[in-house]
């Protein structure tokens, strides 16, 4: 709906009729059911191109995959070989990352810019080739350069093997609930301005479900996503948080949600009214249409633990409609339907209650076992840092001539420019990175006590080397430097087990015995609590260069990243293969 007058909007808001038509996501699902049952080679063509889209009463140009926002949903089956040709037709450098895909022995296809490859420049292309090895469930793909992922992303659904037994009753149907953010401005301008000015960034103008802000936003009612259900039936909702900088609560009025999978790993069933998803996390839930025939709001809103500078996040929840067969399809006003009751926007205790209730179904996660003993224990402090910036004027900082940064173990990551980290490793190019990323803070202090008087950090391109087969435990510790905040930490190349989390400072003596080594969930992104810690374990059995970073893109832009270099083991199945011949060069 393209319109520039408010009165026309209001007319639409009050008059609109929704047709009970299958959504695009549903049509794709029908197609997916016909996916062959034996392992296949599945080919996709992704053209990164501009498209115009209208949201919030205005039309803008955005970078998309194949002109779609969100991008096309990819359906594959466990065991398939996936071949995606990515062509760049826009003025920005682009890469595509398959978020949560293990990329077992296919690190060159992973996609983070300057880590496993240099970006695909305009009018160039790169063909990703990888196998879906022992994984099934809901993931997504997204651009991995600057903030392009705000609009360049889509769902990546891995169906289980045809003969696999589901750990929950087979649902009648499924729906995709794809959460994102919308800026009226060009997103690359927003991040460029933020880096220049040095302070907070301009937050998005709307939250979205399947690319649509929903009824409560201006000029959005008629495009609100509708999920059709039939009373008495149970549905699988595949929920993806593809937002750029926000953790989200998700809730459906009148319906409880049973979590059965997170980050493409099954969980023990856990029933709740409100879900918490950090950006980068995915959650599959079962929903039974057990209420009176009618329409109910599905909604998501920001979960943002306290911090004093307080980016004014979108205050309006995004909404979609769960519509029962036989319900009316007219709304007399955008606020006719009640919103779910969400916890307070800063309720870290609620969020911790949710995440600690998630239990894995198995400690054998796609060939990657839960390490009961670890070879290396590491402590990574994560938090803010400041940098001197004579041209900045950041009024919320004690000295305005400073800019915001972030760091891990006091190192703010600097992207290489001449070659990707993995090419530098593979071809022995010196001077691209240093292999001395610290396993522990250099100067221990009370991380959750008084903020350190020196808020500065070290700048460097540092990686941590892991021997093949090593078992690792990492405790992520939020720090009081500047102020606390929750950080969703994402690791490429493997899932990890989240064996514990808590508030305050991790105490190795008191907290180690409490770690969950029985049924921890397996994830690719862990939401480290604000002012707290989270502990993960994984075994390094996938050779390559694996990026690890905060999945708030603003924090990654400020330096909260590093990479693990997992060395080769013995034999072909433990050795990083050579790069593909079309790997983009710097």
Ligand X SMILES: *[C@@H]1O[C@H](CO)[C@@H](O)[C@H](O)[C@H]1NC(C)=O
- Which residues lie near Cu ion (CB under 5 A)? 487, 550, 552, 555
Of the pair 236, 550, the CB lying nearest Cu ion is at 550
Query: Is residue 428 within the footprint of ligand X (CB under 6 A)?
Result: yes
* Cα distance between residue 3 and residue 96, in whole Å: 33
Residue 568 binding partner per list Cu ion, ligand X, none, with a CB distance cut-off of 5 to 8 Å that depends on partner kind: none
The single-letter DSSP state of residue 584 is P
Which of 5, 19, 391, 395 touches ligand X (CB under 6 A)? Answer: 395
- Count how many residues are written for the chain: 586
Residue whose CB is nearest to ligand X in the complex, by number: 449
Question: CA nearest 97: which of 280, 296, 344?
Answer: 280
Query: Is residue 218 within the footprint of ligand X (CB under 6 A)?
Result: yes
* Cα distance between residue 99 and residue 7, in whole Å: 42
Tokens coding 231 = 């009373």
Quickly list DSSP for 291-356.
S-SSEEEEEEEEE----TT------SPEEEEEEETTS--B-SSTTSSPPP-PPPTT-HHHHHHHHH
**Residue carrying structure tokens 């996660």:** 365
Which of 271, 332, 446, 568 touches ligand X (CB under 6 A)? Answer: 446
- CB neighbours of residue 372 within 10 Å: 9
Of the CA atoms within 13 Å of residue 551, those in its CB half-sphere come to 26
Distance of closest approach, residue 188 Cβ to ligand X, in angstroms: 9
Distance of closest approach, residue 573 Cβ to ligand X, in angstroms: 4
Which of 24, 51, 197, 311 touches ligand X (CB under 6 A)? Answer: 51
Of the pair 256, 346, the CB lying nearest ligand X is at 346
Q: Which residues of 421-438 are buried (b: 16+ CB within 10 A; e: fewer)?
A: bbbbbbeeeeebbeeebb
Which of 14, 329, 393, 399 touches ligand X (CB under 6 A)? Answer: 393
Of the pair 11, 230, the CB lying nearest ligand X is at 11
For 170-191, the three-class secondary structure string (H helix, E strand, C coil) is CCCEEEEEEEEEECCCCHHHHH
Tokens coding 203 = 């937050």
Query: Is residue 586 within the footprint of ligand X (CB under 6 A)?
Result: yes
Q: Does 357 sit behind a cis peptide bond, omega within 30 degrees of 0 on the bond before it?
A: no
Contact stretch for ligand X (CB under 6 A) within 46-54, 153-161, 231-239, 285-293: 46-54
Contact stretch for ligand X (CB under 6 A) within 80-88, 155-163, 441-449, 489-497: 441-449
Footprint of ligand X on 331-360 (CB under 6 A): 344, 346
DSSP β-ladder status, 463-466 and 561-566: parallel
Residue 555 binding partner per list ligand X, Cu ion, none, with a CB distance cut-off of 5 to 8 Å that depends on partner kind: Cu ion
**Residue carrying structure tokens 């522990």:** 440
Distance of closest approach, residue 67 Cβ to ligand X, in angstroms: 7
Contact stretch for ligand X (CB under 6 A) within 26-34, 47-55, 254-262, 551-559: 47-55
* Cα distance between residue 438 and residue 446, in whole Å: 18
Residue 316 binding partner per list ligand X, Cu ion, none, with a CB distance cut-off of 5 to 8 Å that depends on partner kind: ligand X
Residue 106 binding partner per list Cu ion, ligand X, none, with a CB distance cut-off of 5 to 8 Å that depends on partner kind: none
Quickly list DSSP for 59-96.
EEEEEEETTBSS-PPEEEETT-EEEEEEEE-SSS-B-E
Footprint of ligand X on 153-182 (CB under 6 A): none
Footprint of ligand X on 289-318 (CB under 6 A): 306, 316
Residue 552 binding partner per list ligand X, Cu ion, none, with a CB distance cut-off of 5 to 8 Å that depends on partner kind: Cu ion
Residue 487 binding partner per list ligand X, Cu ion, none, with a CB distance cut-off of 5 to 8 Å that depends on partner kind: Cu ion
Query: Is residue 457 within the footprint of ligand X (CB under 6 A)?
Result: yes
Tokens coding 339 = 């919103």
Which of 100, 112, 119, 438 touches ligand X (CB under 6 A)? Answer: 119
Residue 458 binding partner per list ligand X, Cu ion, none, with a CB distance cut-off of 5 to 8 Å that depends on partner kind: ligand X
Tokens coding 14 = 């009050």
Question: CA nearest 487: which of 517, 442, 537, 531?
Answer: 531
Of the pair 154, 452, the CB lying nearest ligand X is at 452
Give the sheet arrangement for strand 137-143, strand by strand: 74-77, 153-159, 137-143, 96-99
Q: Does 70 sit behind a cis peptide bond, omega within 30 degrees of 0 on the bond before it?
A: yes
| Rg, Å, the chain Cα set | 23
* Cα distance between residue 257 and residue 354, in whole Å: 12
Contact stretch for ligand X (CB under 6 A) within 184-192, 332-340, 452-460, 491-499: 452-460
Of the pair 109, 159, the CB lying nearest ligand X is at 109
Footprint of ligand X on 551-580 (CB under 6 A): 571, 573-574
Q: Which residues bind ligand X (CB under 6 A)?
A: 50-52, 61, 93, 118-119, 121, 216-218, 306, 316, 344, 346, 393, 395, 410, 427-428, 442-443, 446, 448-449, 452, 454, 456-458, 505, 541, 571, 573-574, 586
């Amino acid at each position: 709906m393209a319109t520039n007058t408010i009165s026309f909007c209001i007319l639409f808001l009050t008059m609109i009729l929704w047709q009970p038509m299958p959504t695009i996501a549903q049509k794709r699902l029908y197609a997916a059911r016909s996916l062959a049952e034996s392992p296949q080679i599945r080919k996709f063509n992704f053209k990164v191109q501009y498209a115009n889209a209208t949201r919030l009463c205005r039309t803008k140009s955005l970078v998309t995959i194949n002109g779609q926002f969100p991008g096309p949903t990819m359906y594959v089956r466990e065991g398939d070989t996936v071949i995606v040709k990515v062509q760049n037709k826009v003025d920005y450098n682009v890469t595509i990352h398959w978020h949560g895909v293990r990329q077992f022995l296919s690190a060159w296809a992973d996609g983070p810019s300057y880590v496993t490859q240099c970006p695909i420049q305009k009018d160039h292309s790169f063909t990703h080739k990888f196998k879906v090895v022992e994984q099934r469930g809901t993931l997504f793909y997204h651009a991995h350069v600057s903030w392009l992922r705000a609009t360049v992303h889509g769902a990546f659904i891995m169906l289980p093997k045809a003969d696999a037994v589901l750990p929950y009753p087979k649902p009648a149907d499924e729906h995709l609930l794809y959460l994102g953010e919308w800026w009226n401005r060009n997103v690359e301008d927003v991040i460029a301005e933020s880096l220049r000015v040095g302070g907070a960034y301009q937050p998005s103008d709307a939250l979205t479900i399947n690319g649509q802000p929903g009824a409560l936003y201006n000029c959005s009612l008629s495009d609100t996503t509708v999920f059709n259900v039939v009373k008495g039936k149970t549905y699988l909702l595949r929920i993806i948080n593809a937002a750029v900088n926000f953790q989200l609560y998700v809730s459906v009025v009148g319906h409880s949600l049973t979590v059965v999978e997170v980050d493409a790993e099954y969980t023990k069933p856990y029933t709740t009214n409100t879900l918490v998803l950090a950006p980068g996390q995915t959650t599959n839930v079962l929903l039974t249409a057990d209420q009176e025939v009618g329409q109910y709001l599905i909604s998501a809103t920001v979960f943002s633990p306290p911090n004093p500078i307080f980016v004014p996040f979108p205050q309006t929840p995004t909404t979609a409609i769960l519509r029962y067969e036989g319900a009316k399809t007219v709304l007399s006003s955008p606020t006719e339907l009640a919103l779910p009751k969400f916890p307070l926007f800063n309720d870290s205790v609620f969020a911790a209650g949710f995440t600690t209730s998630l239990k894995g179904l198995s400690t054998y996660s796609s060939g990657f076992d839960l390490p009961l003993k670890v070879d290396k224990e590491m402590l990574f402090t994560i938090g803010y840092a400041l940098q001197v910036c004579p041209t900045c004027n950041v009024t919320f900082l004690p000295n305005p001539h400073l800019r915001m940064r972030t760091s891990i173990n006091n190192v703010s990551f600097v992207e290489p420019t001449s070659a990707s980290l993995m090419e530098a490793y593979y071809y022995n190019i010196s001077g691209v990175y240093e292999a001395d990323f610290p396993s522990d803070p250099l100067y221990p202090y009370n991380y959750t006590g008084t903020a350190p008087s020196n808020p500065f950090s070290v700048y460097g391109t540092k990686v941590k080397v892991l021997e093949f087969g090593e078992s690792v435990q990492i405790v992520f510790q939020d720090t009081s430097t500047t102020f606390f905040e929750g950080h969703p930490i994402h690791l490429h190349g493997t899932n990890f087990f989240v064996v514990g989390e808590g508030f305050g400072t991790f105490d190795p003596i008191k907290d180690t015995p409490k770690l969950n080594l029985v049924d921890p969930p397996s994830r690719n992104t862990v939401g480290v609590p604000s002012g707290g810690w989270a502990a993960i374990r994984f075994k390094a059995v996938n050779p390559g260069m694996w990026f690890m970073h905060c999945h708030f893109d603003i924090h990654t832009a400020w330096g909260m990243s590093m990479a693990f270099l997992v060395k080769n083991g013995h034999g072909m199945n433990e050795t990083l293969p050579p790069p593909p011949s079309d790997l983009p060069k710097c």
